[in-house]
Structure 1
């Protein structure tokens, strides 16, 4: 068979097949041809309709069990790439209505439909299951149920905003939809999303038993007295929705339209009925598809999906990964060992100079895992299995067969060079030495290496178990094999890796430094700390720059400045304020002395007013929130453009993902490069020139931006 014929066969083959058993129970299997996971596509509407016609016409069928033909997933959601073809909100609304009609047809069936769920049932996948009369899921770790559409600036558009609240109650359903977070099998059973939770081996048997029951109409959740008062009365619901909107606006700063639209849908369905709720849902879905926020969030989704397929260096396959060494049992070392054992499933050998260091690193993992056990997210046996992958040593015993050794010791070049020498003498010739330095150029760490091709940077962000980014930093002599292997390790550890060029600050810290410096300059000019931080949070950052400095440690945050100045000159000169703050032994949250106060009832929430007298500043608002945010952000945008110009990052895409995942650049703006495209290069250059004329050369626009402004250029074509 030719390749073309195979493709045609795959494309023409239906994603659905029906097998009617002798007992009258039909097994309806969804198996999208040529895909590793099932996704719902617009072209499936006719196929599903044909299957439902066949089921209705066959009077021998007493019940239907819906299963996946994929080993590890039920339905991972709708194929969101189809939304790009929508020219208007009406086009997108039509898609939503089409999904609603099909799922309504399933719910209206006179015979029972049972969803047998193993693996992810997300978005449209869960909406499909919710339209069935019964649901049973496996107790497997792969199984998760959720409606994550909000993370793409959307809402569940095929009945999810209506069916989930009437099944499990308004509050729990709203929480799931507003966060987009999936639930595990035990939670799904507890909340009432599924009727049964069983081992995978008996999933089909239990589903068939349920299919022999009668089809049922949703009866509503079992509510306690408090929930009955809140959800069961008009007065209570008014309070509930009012509070939900208030909390949502406080969290989103009004930057994300989807959460409020989700609340509108739920409220319409509860107060005006199911049909009205579906109409509001379809209309709101259509409007959200066309918003710039959703378009940018979908861009991020496509970018990260694309990055998962890349190897680090095109055409170069990664080396074997069977064991990892970690040097240093501090906070970073402990975090790196944790993601190596729990996410990558690889043995991690921790070396520290003190027993306490190893014990602390072990405790880091134990504390995180025992929480999951207590919350019943994992079994104790699973935890013990993962903890068994962690071992420790005061010397290099057990390191000889390590494929990668990750160094997480103090920021000291000589110490790191000594680590390289130690690894080269105690490990094998192919062992990769990866430095978790946040600021020291990798070529300096590799300067005395016998095998510099094996030396690379692997920069994690704190806390390692939560932050999704890793910077992979190659110096001039790093081999392609080393790059690809390190990218693969970071990905196995659950990270999104970007490959960046060696140099002071790499990418993320380099674009963060001028932003933080400008915030310090504004503070010294008299702007109140709360005003600075609130202005940047309103712009879309998760925390303001002054608060961020307290969180990471003022001593740590300022350590990079001399390194940047050494390479780039006075453009990175920091305000003298930092020296005064450090001289007063203010390191931030870690020693409970910083810009914020850590005493009283609200530790870390209120500014320590004594900071103003220390800096000889009388606080008074002079700048608007918009101007204040613009000054700080323009410094970051300009630096990002310079990084692209110098080849520090490979593409605007990598620069956007690095900024969003590394420092919380507002996702709804799409990252620094997509944001500059939205503003237009002419506008960016004009604003930089404006500040350059009034505040100095540090605002001088990057050459790449000037050229783009003259040629109406864009970072993304």
Structure 2
């Protein structure tokens, strides 16, 4: 017998087991939207009237189990009652699923996050498909909220109070094996064994015993668990500030309130707590960041070679040849191999190639547990000092030194050996592509792919169009970037492109402040207090003072930097002469031991309000210069670039979004600073466009 409702499909087999499949009809992945939850409620009504011998919850989509709640619909929640209606509906379906008097198994493949895991936790058993990726977790704090469909209670019951709390506070996802080790998942098996394992659990239940650590947590009385709150709060404060990200602190308070309470009371406390967070400004802004990520990710799904068929990155770019085995080139090559592409890495220096391979092994070992999987990835990464792989590549990424003549010579050599369909991309961080493309036989296939360091951690790649780059080449580049797990950002060719252009104005002002005698710790604390993940001086040390100095020189040639910034650049030159290049040499603005600052003063430095005002006046002003010059096509792309390329305070929603609230104060600060310090604070013409647009939208 087969029955169906919208989004959900219910079948019963010959043994009387009900197989309940989720196939969300409004998208390519499963999300628990309001109508999907209502539809599930109706199907649960059928099951309650005719109880099966067992129930299996699974996904019909190859993309995964359930991504979570429908985050994109959060903007439709206009009142606290709207939020409570959604929360109550989620609680209702989870409670009713849990109460069905038969064994219930969640059969999980792929992503099981947020509300998806909360729904799965309402089952008796969870079986997950073997996967090296981190696919299971409750990441709600990253959206400025916390679990709200009963997850705070059910996860504690499975994983233990302290382990569950730490997982939720971090918003961290786990591999299926890690989830099983924590007690969240009962079994992890290859995909071919999923159904047989499910049937065994339906008949025999689980024989897995809780770990000693889990049993210990369950045995602790509430007052002892409560004593850990202070320690957990101190650990939390080291990672995030309460004034920036209130959700983790709200979750910690909820956890403390729930200790020792009856289960129904714990669930009610969860509902009341999350309803308040839905309308917090931080949550709204973090949901905006989620949407910006989705917006960039969608670029990789655009149509390319064929007008009537969507194509996958792998079908367009299967072989990549990287020229230059330095830190950036070597790490780009390793990342591409990790993501399934055939990669050849060219460099004249065997020593460079050796170092690149060592870093690649380090990356692969962090990402993949099995020796066979590691070897498979490394077999795809071929050292190619002679550059033979270029002739077979679909994409060539140039990552040699930042020298225009060296790059142009390389392109001429490459064009003699490669098909006309092969894309050539430069990873230059500052040289305009119109200069680099001079003399190319096929300039239509030349573009920029600007990665950020460290490649494995930074999600953004600027995709830069040269003056004669054709749309097809750009579409292939977007698909390639998306297919390798990164976010493509379309950027116009200009000095420094988007991220580095804005970043160098900000870093330049930080260096000027230090030159004026402001302690580096005060400058960095001003940025940390604002919400940046790292202070600008510490960032300059991490990037490398030699690289910062070179980029400033390039900027001066094109943008004619002001005298104070040039003076700061000259100071960098003096440090470089002494061999003080930052983290990599153990000495820059700070001193370092094993890559860590000996004393950067974080948390012990008073706020220098004037330094903060100057830093961010420069940053916002440069954003408006970029908008006026159409370096990116709209404010959303600028915000996305700054958040994913620099870590700009996500809780603010991006600099252009933040300006909607703060523009009057920032503009007044800028005018005052212009009078006092001169032309580097001269308001951009983009301010007039901004004020006009802001007035029009009111």
TM bucket normalised to smaller: over 0.9
Q: How far did residue 487 of structure 1 move? A: 2.0
Tell me the equivalent position of 2:592. 598
Distance 1:245 1:557, change over 3 A: same
Distance 1:52 1:453, change over 3 A: closer
- 8 A contact 1:436–1:460 mirrored in 2: yes
> For 2:365, which of 359, 367, 370 is the aligned residue?
370
Tell me the equivalent position of 1:699. 681
Aligned ranges for residues 570-585 of structure 1 at < 5 Å? 570-571=561-562, 573=566, 575=568, 576-585=570-579
Tell me the equivalent position of 1:628. 611
- 8 A contact 2:525–2:607 mirrored in 1: no
Question: Residue 280 in 1 paired to residue 272 in 2?
Answer: no
> For 1:340, which of 336, 342, 349 is the aligned residue?
336
Question: Residue 643 in 1 paired to residue 626 in 2?
Answer: yes
Distance 1:214 1:394, change over 3 A: closer
- 8 A contact 2:300–2:483 mirrored in 1: no
Structure 2 CA distance for aligned equivalents of residues 712 and 536 of structure 1: 27
Tell me the equivalent position of 2:503. 512
- 8 A contact 1:135–1:196 mirrored in 2: yes
Structure 2 CA distance for aligned equivalents of residues 577 and 262 of structure 1: 47
Tell me the equivalent position of 2:234. 246
Tell me the equivalent position of 1:325. 321
Unaligned runs of 5+ in 2: none
Tell me the equivalent position of 1:530. 521
Out of 505-514 and 531-540, give the one that drifted further. Answer: 531-540
Q: How far did residue 223 of structure 1 move? A: 4.1
Aligned ranges for residues 20-419 of structure 1 at < 5 Å? 20-59=12-51, 61-141=52-132, 144-213=135-204, 222-224=211-213, 228=216, 232-254=220-242, 255-310=244-299, 320-343=316-339, 345-372=340-367, 377-419=368-410
- 8 A contact 2:660–2:694 mirrored in 1: no
Structure 1 CA distance for aligned equivalents of residues 355 and 578 of structure 2: 29
| SS of alignment partner, residue 534 of structure 2 | coil
- 8 A contact 1:165–1:266 mirrored in 2: no
Structure 1 CA distance for aligned equivalents of residues 536 and 511 of structure 2: 9
- 8 A contact 1:500–1:506 mirrored in 2: yes
Structure 2 CA distance for aligned equivalents of residues 43 and 386 of structure 1: 42
Structure 1 CA distance for aligned equivalents of residues 101 and 628 of structure 2: 64
| SS of alignment partner, residue 28 of structure 1 | strand
Question: Residue 676 in 1 paired to residue 659 in 2?
Answer: yes
Tell me the equivalent position of 1:616. none
Distance 1:312 1:173, change over 3 A: closer
Distance 1:554 1:107, change over 3 A: same
- 8 A contact 1:550–1:587 mirrored in 2: yes
Q: Give the count of matched residue pairs.
A: 682
- 8 A contact 1:166–1:221 mirrored in 2: no
Structure 2 CA distance for aligned equivalents of residues 390 and 181 of structure 1: 30
Tell me the equivalent position of 1:7. none
TM-score (ref. length: structure 1): 0.90
Tell me the equivalent position of 1:488. 479
Structure 2 CA distance for aligned equivalents of residues 691 and 262 of structure 1: 41
Structure 2 CA distance for aligned equivalents of residues 93 and 462 of structure 1: 42
Distance 1:350 1:24, change over 3 A: same
Q: How far did residue 504 of structure 1 move? A: 1.3
Q: How far did residue 626 of structure 1 move? A: 3.4
Q: How far did residue 562 of structure 1 move? A: 1.7
Unaligned runs of 5+ in 1: 1-11, 609-619
Structure 1 CA distance for aligned equivalents of residues 26 and 279 of structure 2: 30
Q: Deviations over 1:185-208 (max 9, x none)?
A: 111111111112222122122212
Distance 1:452 1:711, change over 3 A: closer
- 8 A contact 1:517–1:574 mirrored in 2: no
Structure 2 CA distance for aligned equivalents of residues 410 and 392 of structure 1: 19
Tell me the equivalent position of 1:4. none
| SS of alignment partner, residue 66 of structure 2 | coil
Q: How far did residue 140 of structure 1 move? A: 3.5
| SS of alignment partner, residue 570 of structure 1 | coil
| SS of alignment partner, residue 27 of structure 1 | strand
| CA RMSD between the two structures | 2.6
Distance 1:314 1:62, change over 3 A: closer
Tell me the equivalent position of 1:589. 583
Out of 400-409 and 561-570, give the one that drifted further. Answer: 561-570
Structure 2 CA distance for aligned equivalents of residues 52 and 475 of structure 1: 56
Q: Deviations over 1:530-579 (max 9, x none)?
A: 12112211211111011111111111112111211222223454524323
Structure 2 CA distance for aligned equivalents of residues 308 and 602 of structure 1: 33
Structure 1 CA distance for aligned equivalents of residues 408 and 219 of structure 2: 63
